[in-house]
Amino acid sequence: MRLFVCLLILLSGLGVSAAELRPQREKIENVLSGRVKEARASWWGYDAEDTTKILQAALDSKVPKLIIDAMPTPWITEQIYVHSDQEILFEKGSVLQAKRGSFRGRNDCLVNIVARKNVSISGEGAVIRMWGDDYRSEDYSKAEWRHAITILSSENVKISDLTITDTGGDAIYIDEKGRLGPCKNIHITGVICDGNHRNGISVISVEKLLIEKTIMKNTRGTDPECGIDFEPDGPEQSLIDCVVRDCITENNVGNGYSIYLVEMDHTAKPVSIRFENCISRGDGRLAFLLQSGKGKEKAVTGKIDVIGGLFEKSQGVAIHVQGKPLDGIELHFDGLHVKECGSGDNSFPIQIVSQSDAENPAGKIRFDNVTVMDSKDRLVLDFKDRSSAQQGGRDISGTVELVRDGKTVPAVIDDSWLKQHFPKRNR
C-alpha cells in the first residue's frame, strides 16, 4: 500500500491521476471488440511490485499495437508471452525488469515469442533487465537458458532499439520449437546486448536473418560467452541467408563472432552467413571462430563471407579456423583489417588447424585485400595440418598485407607459401 501511495505521488507530478492507474474498462472493451487498434499497457492497471498479470492481460487482448508506458518505476514481471500480429512499443525511458526471486526454472525466459508471426518489439532506447548475479548464486540451479527474449519457430519478427542486460542466458535466443521448424525472416537492429550470462545473441536455427547496428558486449558467466554464437544442435537445423551487418562485439570473455558447426554434417542444408563491416574489439578469446566437424561425413557445405570490418586487440588470434575440411564450407575474407590481435606467446593473427583424427586437411579458404597490422615478429598465418591426408593442395589462397614498423609487405598465400613456412606437417 505504501508503494502504491508513493507511486501516486510520483505519477501526480507527471500529470497521471489515480483514476488513470486503475483498469479503464471502456477502453479495454473497445480493444477487445476490435474498435481500437492501439492501446497502452497502463489501461489494464499498474502495480509497482508485480505487473505480470497486467502485462499478460494487455498482450492477451491481441491489440495490434501495445504501448508500454514510461513509468517512474519499472514494469516488474515474470514470464510473458507475445501473440501473432502484434507490435509492442516501449516508450523512451520505460524499463521491463524481471521479478527478483523468480525465474527458478532453468528454461524460464522473460519475453517469449513461440510459434508466432508478424511480431515487432521496439524500444526507443528502453531497457530490458534481468538479475544475472542472482542466477549465478547458490540460490539458483545452474542454467544457461534464462534469456531475455526467446524466439522459437516464429516468422517475421523484428526486435529494435532496446538495451538488454544482466540475463541468466542470452539477450536474444533464436531456435526452433520441437518439430515446428526454424525461425524465418528475423530482423534485429539497433539493440545493445550488455553484460549477459552466456551470449549476446545465440542463433541455433533460422532461415533469413538480419542483425544490424547491434552491439554485443561484456558477456560473462558461462561458456561460450560470445558476442554472437551460431551453433546448431544438429544437422536437421538451418543457418540459411544470415547477414550480420555494421555490428560490434566488445570485451566479451569469449569470442566476438563464433560459428560452431560441429553438430552438423553433410546431410545439413548448405550454410550461408555473411558478415559486413563488423567490428570485434578487445574480445577475450578470438575475434572470429569457424569450427566444423572432421571428415567427409561431417563436412558441412555452404559459404561464409566476411566483408570489410575490423578485428582489433583480441587476446587470442583474430581468425581461427578449425576442423573445416577441404571439401566442406567455403570461407572468404575480403577487405578485412586485423589490428594487434593474438597477444599470447606462440600466437598468430590467423590460425588454421586440422586435428590429428581428421581425414582431410582444412582448406577452401580465400583472403582478398586483408590487412594485418601487427607489431610482433611473426608470420601473419599459422597452419597446423595434423590430418591423415597425404600432403597436397589445400586451396588456401589470397593476399594478406602485413603492416609492421611502417612497412607494408604482402604475403601471397598459396600451397607454395604454406610448404615454405610449414615444410613438415604439424603432428
Q: Would residue 251 be called left, alpha or beta, if left means φ above 0 and alpha means ψ between -120 and 50 degrees?
A: left
Three-class DSSP labels, the chain: CHHHHHHHHHHHHCCCCHHHHCCCHHHHHHHHCCCCCEEEHHHHCCCCCCCHHHHHHHHHCCCCEEEECCCCCCEEECCEECCCCEEEEECCCCEEEECCCCCCCCCCCCEEEECCEEEEEEEEEEEEECCHHHHCCCCCCCCCCECCEEEECCEEEEEEEEEEECCECEEEEEECCCCCCCEEEEEEECCEEECCCCEEEEECCEEEEEEECCEEECCCCCCCCEEEEECCCCCCCCEEEEEEECCEEECCCCCCEEEEECCCCCCCCCEEEEEECCEEECCCCCCEEEEECCCHHHCCCEEEEEECCEEECCCCCCEEEECCECCCCEEEEECCEEECCCCCCCCCCEEEEECCCCCCCECCEEEEEEEEECCCCCCCEEEEECCCCCCCCCCEEEEEEEEECCEEEEEEECHHHHHHHCCCCCC
Which pLDDT value is given to residue 356?
Answer: 66
pLDDT score at 323: 83
- Residue 145 pLDDT more than 60? yes
166-204: per-residue pLDDT in tens?
999 999 999 999 989 999 999 999 999 999 999 999 999
Residue closest to 95 by CA, chosen among 120, 75, 115, 122? 75
pLDDT digits (tens, 9 = 90+) for 263-273: 999 999 999 99
How confident is the model at residue 89, as a pLDDT?
98
Per-residue pLDDT at 12: 38
| Domain spans, the chain | 27-421
pTM: 0.92
Interval 92-134: pLDDT, tens: 999 999 999 999 999 999 999 999 999 999 998 999 999 999 9
pLDDT at position 424? 60
Per-residue confidence band for 15, with pLDDT thresholds at 50, 70 and 90: very low
| Residue 114 pLDDT | 98
Q: Per-residue confidence at 6, pLDDT binned at 50, 70, 90?
A: very low
Contact residues for 41 (Cβ-Cβ < 8 A; gap 6+): 51, 54, 55, 58, 66, 67, 68, 69, 75
pLDDT at 376 over 50: yes
Q: Residue 13 — pLDDT band, cuts 50, 70, 90?
A: very low
The arithmetic mean of pLDDT across residues 49-65, rounded, is 97
Average pLDDT over residues 33-44: 96
pLDDT, tens only, 66-86? 999 999 999 999 999 999 999
| CATH code reported for the domain at 27-421 | 2.160.20.10
Amino acid at 204: I
298-344 per-position pLDDT tens digit: 789 999 999 999 999 999 999 999 988 777 899 999 999 999 999 87
Mean pLDDT rounded to a whole number for the chain: 90
